Homo-oligomer: A and B are copies of this chain.
Amino acid sequence: MMMHFDLAQTAPAAAPVPCQDASFCQQCDVRARAICGTLEDDERVALNRLGRRVTVQAGQTVMWEGDDATIVANVIEGTLKLSASTGDGREQIVGVVYPSDFIGRPFGRSTPHSVTALTDARLCLFTRGAFDGFARTHPELGHRLLQRTLDDLDRARAWMLLLGRKNAREKIATFLLDMSHRLAGEGAGPLDRFALPLSRQQVADVLGLTIETVSRQMTDMKRAGIIALPNRRTVEILDRDQLACCAEAA
- Report A166 CB to chain B, min CB distance, Å: 7
- Report A101 CB to chain B, min CB distance, Å: 13
Inter-chain contact A106/B160, CB cutoff 8 Å:
no
Q: A84 near B: Cβ within 8 Å?
A: yes
Inter-chain contact B157/A94, CB cutoff 8 Å:
yes
Q: A37 near B: Cβ within 8 Å?
A: no
Inter-chain contact A154/B112, CB cutoff 8 Å:
yes
Q: Which residues, 197 to 250 on A, are CB-close (under 8 Å) to B?
A: 205, 207-208, 248-249
- Report A75 CB to chain B, min CB distance, Å: 17
How many A residues face the partner with a CB closer than 8 A?
Answer: 47
* Residues of A near any B CB (own CB < 8 A): 1-2, 82, 84-88, 90-92, 94-95, 105-108, 112-113, 136, 139, 142-143, 145-147, 149-150, 152-154, 156-161, 163-167, 205, 207-208, 248-249
Query: A167: which B residues are within 8 A, CB to CB?
Result: 1
